[in-house]
Structure formats: C-alpha cells, structure tokens
C-alpha cells in the first residue's frame, strides 16, 4: 500500500477561532462519513469556537476512505499505516503538516474522525449524560502522533428494551412530543445513533415492546440508521427485522403460525425484506411466538425443529431473492434463547455462514460457550448480554448496578472462547447503564487494550475523563463500593419478593436472611459512600454538575436510600429501628428522582418500574419471627487468598472483590490454625456461572486428610436454586468435616474449566 509515511517535523496545532480546512470528498464518501464530519465540526466549534472549515492553508485535516475517493493520490497521502482490516482507521500528521484520517471502509473512516473528537476531550456522553465539553485556547498533537485501530468484534451494539417507563415516555412526551403515545421517532433515534457512533458501535436492536410503534413503521427511522451507518438487527423473537409483537396486528393476517398459516407469515416477512433491502441490516433467522413466547402450531421439540428447518430455508430464500444472490455475504444470526436452545440441542442444522448468538441467563452469566465445531463456523459466534432485565425471578430496570467486574470477566471469557463476531448489550433505557454500556463496547472495540488497563483502571479513566483526574481518583473507591454492595444484592432485590411466581408470599416484602449486625454494617457502608459523594460534589466543575448527578450522585444516593427504606423497615419489624427512617428514605427516593427528571430529562427516570411491591412505602408492622443470627465463623477466605499459582484472581469480582478462577486440574489451598472442636462446616461460595465446556461445573474438596468429595454446582434452566443464585450472586455448597486442632488445610481442585471461587467460610459446629 506504499512506503512508510514521512511524519511532520512540527506539531499539529489548532488555536481558538482560527480557520481550518477539512478536505473530504463528501460526494463520494458514504453518509456515515459525512455525518462524522459534521459531528467533528460541531465539537470543534464547541471546544475551540472554530466555524470556518474551508479557507485555511495553515491547518488542514484530510479525510479519505480507501477505494471511494482519489484524495490520497491527488494529495500524495501515504496510506501504508492503514491496516488491511474491516472498519480500520489510521491517523497521523504527514510531512506537510496535515492531519490525515484514513479508513479502510466508511465505518473505519467515521471511527477515525470520532477518535479526533475524543482527543479534543469531548466525551461520548456529551449529550446523553450532559458531560459538557470544556473550552480550549489551543489543541495540539505531537508531530509523531499516530493512532491505528480496527475492532476486536465486527458487530457491536445495543438493544433498547423494556422501554415502557423511561426512554419511551421521555421521548414521546418530552423530547419528541407526539399525540400517538407509541411514537418513538427519528429525532430520538438520531441521538441514540450519534451516541453509538461516538462509542464506536455499529448495531442496534430497536425498542420492540407492544407499547412502542415498531421501528420501521415510524417515518424517518430507517433513514436515521443510514445516516449514522447503523446495522439494524432484531432480537430472538423478531425474525427478518420484523417486530412481530407490534407489527403482526398491523400487517399480519390470521395467526402467527408457520404450521397452519405459513403463506401469510411468509408475506409478512417478505414485505419487510423488500422495503429495507437497500440498507444495512442483520437478519435474525428462526421463529418464536409473537412476543417472548414459544412457537405456535408445533408442540414437541421435534415438531418445532422441523418447522424451524423450513422457516430458515424460506427466510434464506427471501434474502437471496431481495437482498443479494450471494446470501452468505448478508449478515444473519440465529439466537438460541430459552426454549430455542433446547431445539438447537436436538440437532438443528443452522447454515455455516449464520452467526450463532449465545445468551446470558438474563443476569450476566453466559449460558453456553462455543464448541470447537461451533468456533470453526464461517459465521462465527455472538453474545446477547443484559445489564437491564424484566422477568423471573425479579426485574432490575431501575438503577444500572450490574457489576463492571462481572461484565469484564464474562466478556473476556466469551472472547477467548471464540465469541468474536457480534456482541449486543441490553441497555434498557440507556440512562441507568451509561458506564456499563461504555465498558461493554470498549471491550468489543479493543479487547487487548482494555485488558491492559484492567477493569479498575478503566473505571478510574472514565471517572477522570468526566470529572477530572483528582475527582476520578477520589471517586474510584466510592463507585467500586457502590457496585460491590449492589453485587451482593441489587436495590430491586431487597424486598425478598419475586415476579411471575404463583405463590402469593413472593408478592409481599419480607425479611432477607441477614443478621442485625450485617444489616447495620451495610447501612453504614452506604452512609459512608453517600457522604463522600456529596463532599466530592463541591469539587466538581459547575459545567459537569449535571453529569455528576446522573452518573454518580443519583445512582449512589438512590441505591443507599433503597437500602435504608428496606433494611430499616426490616429492623423496625423486629423493634430494632424507628419505622420513620424507612418512610424518610422512601420520600428521599422521590425527591432524588424529581431532581433527575429536570426539564431536559423529564420522564426518563422512573423509580418504580412495573409498580412492583419493592418500590412502595414499606409495611413495618411488628414481626412475630426473629432476625437471623450469624453462625460461629472460625475463619473466612476469599478465593484469591489461596497459596501458590493455581488460581487466577478476578479483578474486583465477588462479595469482597477477591474472587478467583481455579485453573482446571489444579488445586487451591487454604490453611489456618484452629482450636479443637467436634466438627466444622465448610461453606464454599462460587460465582453462579454456567459450564464453559460440557454440562458440569465441579470441584473436589478435601479437609486435612479426609477423602476428597466431589461437588457439582451447575444449575439447569430456571430452577429454584438458579433463582436463589442470581438474586444473591453466589452458588453455595456446605459440607461437614471432623475438626482437628492445630494447622488445617482446605484443598479445592477444579475438575472443570470456569470454576470461580468467591469465598470460603468455616463454621464451628456446636
């Protein structure tokens, strides 16, 4: 592609208000490049007050996509630094002092342009979290500056979901008002797509609940996706980019049933494919029910498999007929979600070029990792992951508290196991999950670079970018503690209630099995971080106070008040606290939420989605029972406390941030001195993950010289044990051993890959 570029002898500088030439053949570039150029111009105006982009010979930015424009040849631009990869970019200062941005394709060029906005210190969240950019007098890049990159995962994006209480009412009543309460239109989607472009994402599954007008039925949405270079995909129950839940009653005829009404269903799909064939789409293959339910018309797994074979063949023929004769060149995915995984495991043959997209269990634990045969497929593998969820055993739709350490651990594992083609994150309404969204997409964009930092440093960098280096360092332990406490029990799970359960006891807020000592310790921990958050607020630049409220103060203070509300109520039921403390916390949550829902964001934050019992004012009538008591703990270990090199610490993961992977076939040892007692109970607490290879997660345990015992802790489906595990974020096994005085050793050997030990508790039996 040419010789090594000759770099400039002096720095590239821009001064406030000076003219700047942006050289880009907009007529030949694709729309996403022109969109990125406009974003860059707006950011240059915001930061440096530059408004003249045509007249300067002193400062020039050259932008070109290889193969679409002859600018590199005309201006003698060296393209040797550009990787021969999809979506790649290269930025450097050439020997004439021009800042050059090259892309291997239009997406690569756009990401290179967006990288320059990041270098200007414009946050991706400049609009969505009000991270107001600060003015500069001068912007400088060193003469030897270079930046070259291509993505780790080809298709990276988000799923707007469970939008009923946040982003839909905010958009519909406030940002993009409409008399049709279901409207979710292009003005809103343009802001979503701009955020995605700034986060270097290229794929969106649009909002799809029945309360929302389907994406392609809202005029202008399709064009908005094209403007920002977004691939429109769809979830596990929306084949062929058709939102069956919202569209079948509008465009369909009869029952959504491929056994008894295949002609009408086929027409339903074909009409959409014909309409959108000229844009970027990722076609989800297969079929479920109208919404998140089983296929109609076929009862047994074998019947469902036979229907899916016919469905996939017909859908592929539609793509070949209307999109491309080379059907294998068109992005397609098959999502084995819920019962569809059982059908897939019955031997369903999915075409080799189709991406198999695996899912977590809705609580952040990936259910399946590719086999060697699945890894070798031409279409590769993808993952659908949640940081927001509506469903059993309990929703978490309010505050974004999914552990960054869990995202980091699971997505690194996914990548290493060959899930490298497509990553989609369920972000709910976007607003409560800003940091988790950025972490997920940064991992998808640059897995190795993010690994080099680690999750703790990534969080610190995020906080420092948004609030300054000093505040970022102060906030790091605060936010780590916020995520740690929520990892132990999410705010939405504190009522000991469940959804979609028949037993009426799960509709009533009741005690958690926590002792008074633990409850008071937890309340104090939240009080400490709340106080620190308020103190740091005084140090935050007035320009960033709004961002600070959205990204730090509201999530931390609201989570703290939710704990106050539920836990003081629990204490009050046993005569251990004043019930007014619970009621005050309830009022404080309302007050905090009202502040959040200011003029711009009115309607975006609802502190009681689905109006579940846990969000109400809590009954503090005296209980006839008693609080739980702590057992007599002899010693406690974290997984990372093992001696030797047979473990791999999982940064910041677990109840105390010290969980560890025990390497397959290796033994982790934990030794301690003990007084003489009759027997001990050893409690092992594992990450409640799913098997990495095969169908088991098992270890052996031996206590001193006792015989090894095998422990299995994997779960199947939505069992009661699985529900307990995801609500408490631990899988627990207990064994009793005779005790010896003096030095004691617990040995745990991993029989399977993926065994992550969080904690060990040793109790004295009396």
Q: What is the CATH number of the domain that holds 111?
A: 3.30.379.10
pLDDT in tens, 362-418: 999 999 999 999 999 999 999 999 999 999 999 999 999 999 999 999 999 999 999
CB 161, CB 446: distance < 8 Å: no
List, for residues 289-311, the tens digit of each pLDDT value: 887 788 999 989 999 999 999 99
> What distance in Å separates the CA atoms of residue 229 and residue 32, rounded to the nearest whole number?
5
State the number of CA atoms in the 13 A half-sphere of 286 facing the CB: 31
Residues ≥6 apart with Cβ < 8 Å to 366: 358, 359, 360, 383, 385, 410, 413, 414, 689, 690
Same structural domain, 541 and 446: no
Residues 322 and 212 in one domain: yes
Question: How much of the chain, in percent, has pLDDT values that exceed 90?
Answer: 90
Domain harbouring 204, CATH code: 3.20.20.520
As a whole number, the mean pLDDT across the chain is 95
Same domain as 176, residue 85: no
Q: Please report the pLDDT score of residue 294 as a whole number.
A: 87
**pLDDT confidence of residue 720:** 96
Identify whether residues 289 and 329 lie together within a single domain.
yes
The closest of 164, 255, 254 to 209, measured between CA atoms, is 164
427 and 544 part of one domain: no
Q: For residue 538, give every residue at least 6 positions away whose Cβ sits within 8 Å of its Cβ, in sequence order, or none.
A: none
Region 596-610: what's the mean pLDDT? 97
pLDDT class of 3 with cuts at 50, 70, 90 = very low
Q: Cα separation of 555 and 400, whole Å?
A: 8
Query: At 203, which helix (H) or strand (E)?
Result: strand 203-205
Residue 478: band (very low, low, confident or very high) from pLDDT cuts 50, 70, 90: very high
Compare 604 and 625 and report the one with higher pLDDT.
Answer: 604
Asked if 235 contacts 335 with a C-beta cutoff of 8 angstroms, the reply is yes
| Residue 5 covered by a domain | no
Does a structural domain hold residue 299?
Answer: yes
* CATH code of the domain in which 482 resides: 1.20.58.2150
Q: Which pLDDT does position 330 carry in this prediction?
A: 98
Lowest mean pLDDT: which of 2-6, 38-42, 472-476, 583-587? Answer: 2-6
Question: Residue 533 pLDDT more than 80?
Answer: yes
In a domain, 624, yes or no: no
Q: What's the token pair of residue 637?
A: 């270990």
Domain boundary among 128, 149, 170: 149
Give residue 1's pLDDT: 42
pLDDT in tens, 717-755: 999 999 999 999 999 999 999 877 788 999 999 999 999
627 part of a folded domain:
no
Mean pLDDT, range 672-690, rounded to an integer:
92
Number of domains in the chain: 4
Cis peptide before 531 (omega within 30 of 0): no
133, 256: one domain = no
pLDDT for the residue 291: 77
Q: Which of 389, 411, 410 is nearest to 399 (CA)?
A: 389
Please state which of the ranges 56-60, 90-94, 474-478, 698-702 shows the lowest mean pLDDT: 56-60
Q: How much is the pLDDT for 727? A: 98
532 vs 475, 508, 596, CA distance in Å? 8, 34, 19
pLDDT tier, 4 (very low <50, low <70, confident <90, very high otherwise): very low
184, 328, 515, 553, 730 from 323: Cα distances, Å: 27, 11, 62, 48, 47
pLDDT of residue 695: 92
| Maximum alpha-carbon separation in the chain | 88
State residue 8's pLDDT score.
66
Parent domain of 380: 155-453
Alpha carbon distances (Å) from 172 to 127, 165, 466: 18, 11, 29
Q: Is residue 462 part of a domain?
A: no
Closest CA to 672 of 631, 633, 635: 635
Q: Are residues 568 and 692 in the same domain?
A: no
Phi, psi of 396 (to 5 degrees): -140, 90
Instruction: Report yes or no on 295 lying in a domain.
Output: yes
How do residues 755-765 score in pLDDT, each as one tens digit? Answer: 999 999 999 98
Q: Is residue 2 over pLDDT 60? A: no
- Would strands 756-765 and 679-686 be described as parallel, antiparallel, or unpaired? antiparallel
Q: Are residues 719 and 663 in the same domain?
A: yes
> In this structure, are 408 and 287 located in the same domain?
yes
The pLDDT value given to residue 237: 86
pLDDT of 268 > 80? The answer is: yes
Residues 69 and 137 in one domain: yes
Write out pLDDT tens, residues 103-136: 999 999 999 999 999 999 999 999 999 999 999 9
548 shares a domain with 576: yes
pLDDT of residue 490: 98
The verdict on 236 and 255 lying in the same domain is: yes
What is the domain-level CATH number for residue 651? 2.60.120.1620
């Amino acid at each position: 592609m040419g010789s090594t570029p000759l770099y400039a002898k002096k720095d590239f500088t821009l001064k406030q208000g000076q003219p700047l030439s942006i050289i880009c053949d907009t007529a030949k570039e694709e729309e996403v490049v022109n969109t990125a150029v406009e974003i860059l111009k707006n950011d240059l105006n915001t930061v440096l007050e530059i408004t003249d982009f045509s007249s300067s010979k002193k400062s020039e930015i050259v932008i070109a996509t290889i193969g679409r424009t002859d600018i590199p040849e005309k201006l003698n631009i060296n393209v040797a630094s550009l990787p021969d990869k999809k979506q790649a970019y290269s930025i450097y200062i050439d020997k004439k002092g021009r800042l050059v941005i090259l892309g291997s394709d239009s997406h690569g060029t756009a990401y290179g342009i967006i990288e320059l906005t990041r270098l200007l210190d414009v946050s991706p969240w400049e609009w969505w979290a009000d991270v107001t950019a600060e003015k500069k007098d001068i912007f400088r890049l060193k003469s030897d500056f270079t930046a070259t990159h291509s993505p780790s995962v080809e298709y990276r994006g988000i799923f707007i979901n469970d939008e009923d209480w946040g982003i839909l009412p905010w958009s519909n009543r406030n940002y993009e008002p409409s008399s049709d309460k279901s409207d979710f239109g292009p003005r809103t989607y343009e802001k979503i797509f701009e955020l995605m472009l700034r986060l270097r994402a290229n794929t969106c599954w649009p909002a799809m609940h029945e309360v929302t007008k389907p994406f392609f039925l809202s005029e202008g949405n399709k064009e908005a996706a094209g403007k920002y270079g977004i691939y429109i995909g769809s979830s596990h129950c929306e084949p062929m980019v058709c939102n069956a839940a919202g569209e079948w009653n509008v465009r369909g005829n009869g029952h959504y049933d491929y056994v008894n009404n295949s002609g009408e269903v086929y027409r339903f799909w074909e009409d959409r494919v014909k309409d959108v064939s000229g844009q970027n789409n990722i076609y989800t293959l297969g079929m479920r029910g109208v919404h998140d339910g089983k296929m109609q018309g076929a009862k047994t797994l074998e019947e469902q498999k036979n229907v899916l074979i016919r469905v996939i063949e017909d859908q592929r023929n539609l793509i070949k007929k209307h999109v491309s004769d080379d059907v294998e060149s068109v992005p397609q995915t098959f999502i084995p979600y819920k019962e569809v995984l059982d059908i897939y495991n019955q031997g369903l043959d999915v075409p080799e070029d189709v991406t198999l997209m695996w899912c977590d269990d809705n609580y952040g634990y990936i259910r399946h990792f590719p086999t060697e045969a699945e890894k070798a497929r031409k279409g590769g593998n993808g993952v659908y992951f949640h940081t927001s969820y509506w469903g059993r055993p309990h929703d978490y739709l309010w505050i974004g508290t999914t552990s960054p350490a869990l995202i980091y651990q699971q997505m690194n594992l996914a990548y290493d196991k060959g899930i490298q083609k497509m990553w989609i994150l369920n972000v709910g309404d976007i607003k409560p999950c800003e940091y988790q969204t950025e972490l997920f997409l940064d991992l998808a964009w640059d897995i190795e670079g993010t690994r080099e930092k680690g999750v703790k440093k990534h969080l610190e960098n995020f906080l420092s970018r948004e609030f300054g280096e000093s505040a970022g360092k102060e906030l790091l332990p605060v936010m780590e503690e916020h995520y740690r406490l929520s990892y132990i029990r999410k705010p939405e799970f504190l009522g000991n209630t469940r959804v979609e359960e028949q037993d009426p006891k799960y509709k009533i807020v009741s005690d958690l099995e926590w002792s008074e000592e633990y409850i008071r310790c937890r309340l104090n921990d939240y009080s400490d971080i709340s106080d620190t958050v308020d103190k740091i607020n005084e140090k935050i630049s007035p320009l960033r106070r709004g961002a600070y409220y959205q990204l730090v103060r509201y999530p931390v203070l609201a989570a703290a008040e939710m704990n106050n509300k539920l836990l003081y109520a629990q204490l009050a039921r046993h005569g251990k606290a004043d019930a007014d403390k619970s009621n005050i916390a309830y009022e404080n949550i309302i007050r905090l939420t009202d502040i959040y829902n200011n003029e711009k964001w009115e309607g975006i934050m609802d502190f009681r989605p689905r109006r579940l019992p846990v969000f109400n004012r809590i009954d503090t009538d005296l209980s006839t029972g008693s609080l739980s008591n702590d057992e007599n703990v002899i010693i406690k270990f974290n997984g990372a406390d093992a001696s030797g090199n047979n473990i791999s610490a999982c940064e910041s993961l677990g109840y105390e941030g010290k969980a560890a992977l025990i390497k397959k076939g290796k033994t982790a040892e934990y030794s301690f001195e003990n007084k003489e007692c009759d027997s001990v109970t050893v409690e092992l607490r594992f990450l409640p993950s799913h098997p990495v290879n095969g169908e088991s997660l098992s270890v052996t345990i031996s206590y001193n010289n006792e015989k090894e015992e095998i422990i299995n802790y994997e779960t199947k489906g939505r069992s009661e044990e699985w529900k307990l595990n995801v609500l408490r974020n631990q899988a627990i096994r207990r064994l009793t051993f005779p005790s010896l005085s003096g030095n004691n050793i617990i040995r745990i050997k991993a029989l399977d890959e993926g065994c992550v030990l969080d904690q060990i508790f040793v109790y004295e039996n009396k």
